[in-house]
Structure 1
Amino acid sequence: MSGRPWPDFRPGPLGALGAWWRRRRESAVVDQYTYVPVQTTHQHPFETPLPSAVYGLDFQAKFVVCWRMDLTTGARHHAPRSAAINDLVQRAKAITERAMLVHHAPIRYQLGDELAAERQVEGTHVWARAENVELTVDESDLDMARKHIELHQATTVRQAEREAERAEIRYLRDEVLTDLSTATIWWLYRNGYQVEQAVQLSEHLARLVRIASDRGDRHWADALVTSFESALPRLSEDHRQDLRVHLAKALGVYGGSSVAGEFADRVGLGGDRHVNHVNPALPHQNGATPLP
């Protein structure tokens, strides 16, 4: 007799056979009352314009929307066709809104590859994909897209030329024509070290130095901007504009809106649009108070 508190009992062959038979019947009953929904696929032809990288110039897309509903997900949507169409349109827009119309040929195949993948619409029981994807472009829009590219290229070239011109002017003003000796050495280097001719031109060079350094009649805002730009000669034109904006904001904090407004008007920032309007009664974090 075993020392365990329960009897040492094992079912015999007939008991094991009966247990197997009961499990088999229970499984059959469960299968009998388990509902497996039938998967059905729906289709809907759809056409829509899709935005390009240039506002107002659109691709024209046509495809067949295919969707099915998976009731086992637990989620529901009352307009499955709308959910499927909206999902495919959003997936398509994510591709076309970064593309130019002149690239419509490769974009068509990229779009067909993306929309052919069946994906579940987020938060719903709908799975959507597209077939027979076509992408076309109106010929007049295509001509406008080409003109837009040409204008953009011309603008880029003009901006580069102007930036090179500004850089040359700053170089002559802030580094060459600062004193007579620097101007003379610069002239010698540019003209084959003709010393005698440089001596003859020394009076003219001295006059140029005086003209370049004569900035006493300039507005204080121009002098302030020039000082910062001289310290940062490699700034791009966009960064130079940002520098003016930051200076206007700093003047608005420490000098008041009138000083900042005068600065903004002088350097072409469009009035007090970039000025911080600070309440003079409020102390600043660094303990400074704005000037009256």
Structure 2
Amino acid sequence: MTTGHKTTTVFLTILCGLVLTIFGLTEQWPTWAWPPLAVILVATPGVAFKIAGRRRGSVPVAFEEHHTAAPIERTEHHVSRVALPSQWPDYDFLISATVRWYALDASRPGRVLNPAGLAVESVLDRARVVTEQREPGRVSLVQHELSGALSSLLPDSTGQLHAMAEDVRLTLHEHDQERLDSLAGVRKDQAVWEHQRKYEQSKRKYLGEDVLKDTGSAVVWWLAKNDEKVERTVEDLGLLARLTSAANDTDVPERLRDLIPQPREVEDGQVLADRQAAPFGRAPTAADHLADALTALNLEDADTQRRLLAKQFADAIRDQDQHETADDLVRRFDPPATFTPDGGEPPDSPGGANRPTSGL
């Protein structure tokens, strides 16, 4: 019976005695009844304690030894920035932690004189098993993993002590962290460049193999671009025919040549270069057709859109292994710059200061 049980028994005995006393005074019990009542109230706690002791039995020996055993002596040692290998060569983790241990049997022969070294070795061996399988770029995640793996008291390889670690901190060398950040930036830039390159290739393929595959496809595409304005599309049939022929490096079909508009006359001579591009007696080239088509679109030589559109056509036909025609377009619409003796370009030249950047 515990101390709480004993206190409760005495309190209930006193309470019952008070109740019986009040009841006896109220009922005017005879005088001879009071002595037996007092004996019963005094004997009740003793009887209850004796019965409880017999029911409990003797205390187990193991339980008594457990409570009388000497307390376990635990000690600790702090380690700082100890290198551990990672999954990548030459990239080491740096671990800092507080190592705790206790000896299993300090009285047996061959007692360890430096238990701190044995405990630290045990903890580092357990940590190395984890870090050598992890990438250095996940240092914060590996730190939490180590905190869990080293939180249990486990015996060392000699079986003489149990060891664990707490306050685990994991870092990298500063230069290694800078290199990892730089590599991550390069990988991200490369991924962006790959997406841009694939987008440009897809756009060229779309223009060369779908939109400008033939005049019919170009007409359908142009009709969709102009919100189903049929009259405007009909007016641009000749232009679409020339664009399709330039993209495929072929001549305009005979049935569509009547739809090709003639270069318009302008007073300032903007189309003079286009007229000079096809001398008498020579069949028009793809560059000639493209020049007439761009002129029909009111795209003058100084217009940036004229150079950009020509670049798209050059890239599209270059993907179809028509490199000579693509080079001809580059020479026609973006001729080499003429440099002055001082290393600059004449302001009035096609590649001068006022020339827009086309990227050809």
Q: State the TM bucket, normalised to the shorter chain.
A: 0.3 to 0.5
Larger Rg: 2
Question: What is the TM-score with the length of structure 2 in the denominator?
Answer: 0.37
- Identify the structure with bigger relative contact order (alpha carbons < 8 Å, sequence gap 6+): 1
Superposition TM-score, scaled by structure 1 size: 0.43
